[in-house]
Amino acid sequence: MRRAVAVRLSALLAAGALTAATGVALSTTTAFAAAAGVTGYATQNGGTTGGAGGQTVRATTGTAIHQALCSRASSSTPITIQVEGTINHGNTAKVSGSSCNTAAGVIELKQISNVTIVGVGNGAVFDQLGIHIRESRNIIIQNVTVRNVKKSGSPTSNGGDAIGMESGVRNVWVDHVTLEASGGESEGYDGLFDMKDNTQYVTLSYSILRNSGRGGLIGSSESDTSNGYVTFHHNLYENIDSRAPLLRGGIAHMYNNHYKRLNESGINSRAGARAKVDNNYFEDSKDVLGTFYTDAAGYWQVSGNVFDNVTWSSRSGDHNPAGPNPTSNTSVSIPYGFTLDGANCVPNVVAQTAGANKGLKVSDGSCTPQSPDPTDPGPTDPGEPTDPGPTDPPAGTNLSLGAGADGSSKASGTSYGNVVDGNTGTYWSPSGSTGSVSVKWGSATTVSKVNIRLASGSGTIGAYRLLNHDTGAVLASGSGAGTVSFSPASLKKITLEITNASGTPRIAEFETYAS
């Protein structure tokens, strides 16, 4: 076992909790437009969509977050929870209900699915309060800060993990978050981002992990090797003693991360684990890759990394660094597409994109940060619903005719199939003003253009996204009805996600075309 090492901080972060009202503040609000879309292993195993297509609510306390989960029709009813303000022990109580399993003193995402938690407005800070994901799937956490979560001392939360996942968790995307502590184990802190007990298909992207003894782990012991398929990209690890991450068994892909001041060790691949390590920038650090504190070897495939002022220890006993000239000792096949930034520009790109409250900026693979759609557009008043009438369809064959259809909850008397029947007199409507409807095929079909026709009496679409349902990628976004073109995509299912509307939209036809 590795001895406990307290991280040496140049300045401790202030741990003082901000006071907030203890009452529940929960209200419906405008919809959330996500960043460019889920990436990495979270796109596999059916993809990760979180609360897409469900109700969007606003919460300013931890109790309100729990109340939102417990107010759903079922534990799998999609919901997006927009969070603003400071969430702490004083405003986070247990809430009971058939669609939730919550606890006081921690944000509990337990035995549930199809949930997005996103920081909006002036930001969301989970102060000394961890987020616990257990026996759950299809979860998105975005644009929040989690700080100073302790496993000992006072107050304690979530076993000391900022974000912890365990017990059969599947498909989690954590994006643009800031996870930070104020020391190591001797100061009462544990991991910033931990996965154990059969947790799979996770992506951590555009995030900051800093000032902690332990960055995170995949697998709680040498026998806990059922975890894996985890992607880490465009993250900043700064002032971390070890576990960046610790990987026991399974597969992980680390690309375009900036590792700065890893004080004892970095990526620790052990117990048969395989790490693909591409185009990362390691700076002012020690033993950034290898198998450490065990004689159970792990493996790695390395390519394109920069080692800037990295020191390497000699190999001895259970300490086996990969350097000073790291070479691959395995190969790892990655099932999803990804575009690499050059390693030399990673510090600059990550500085502009990683962490909460950075505007959800992402990289386009050419070292140039890009701004996505706004995350909190605020209420709009588009006026009275209009009847836009039919639009001229694109040339070619409407691929939706004869295809299947499904979607989120539909209004009474409407049908998903009405959007693919070629009849503008029939339509699908969501159960409220927002929702999603999909066209699907039995085999991959190339689509590059969509035409949305509204039926007579329809409400106005204020904002929408077109999603490649197979991968979660955003193909296009906009407002209103009509024709939209995008880069050709081969897919089995395409989804129209209505995120803002005036009145109830009536989608008469969801037409798809190859060109």
* Contacts with 181 (C-beta within 8 Å, 6 or more apart), sequence order: 7, 13, 147, 148, 149, 162, 187, 189, 192, 211, 212, 213
Q: What's the mean per-residue pLDDT of the chain?
A: 88
Report residue 396 CA to chain centroid gap: 37
Least confident segment among 4-18, 198-212, 344-358, 364-378? 4-18
Distance separating alpha carbons of residues 172 and 65, to the nearest angstrom? 18
Predicted confidence at residue 351, as pLDDT, reads 97
Instruction: Summarize pLDDT for 402-434 with one digit per residue, the tens.
Output: 899 999 888 888 999 999 988 888 999 998 778
Q: What is the mean pLDDT of residues 22-36?
A: 35
Q: What is the mean pLDDT of residues 267-291?
A: 98
Q: Give 395's pLDDT tier (boundaries 50, 70, 90).
A: confident
Q: Give 480's pLDDT tier (boundaries 50, 70, 90).
A: confident
Query: Residue 362 half-sphere exposure, CB side, CA atoms within 13 Å?
Result: 18
Instruction: Summarize pLDDT for 309-320 with one digit per residue, the tens.
Output: 999 999 999 999
Catalytic sites, residue numbers: 243
CA proximity to 225, closest of 249, 201, 192: 249
* 268 bridge partner residues: 246, 290
Predicted confidence at residue 411, as pLDDT, reads 86
CA proximity to 309, closest of 288, 347, 283, 287: 283
Q: Give 393's pLDDT tier (boundaries 50, 70, 90).
A: low
Q: What is the dihedral of CA 126, 130, 136, 141, to 10 degrees?
A: 30
422: tokens are: 């070629």
Distance separating alpha carbons of residues 228 and 223, to the nearest angstrom? 13
> Residue 401 in 3-state DSSP?
coil
Instruction: Summarize pLDDT for 194-217 with one digit per residue, the tens.
Output: 999 999 999 999 999 999 999 999
* Contacts with 252 (C-beta within 8 Å, 6 or more apart), sequence order: 218, 228, 229, 230, 231, 232, 245, 269, 273, 274, 275, 276
12: tokens are: 């401790």
pTM for this model (two decimals): 0.70
**Percent of the chain's residues with pLDDT above 70:** 89
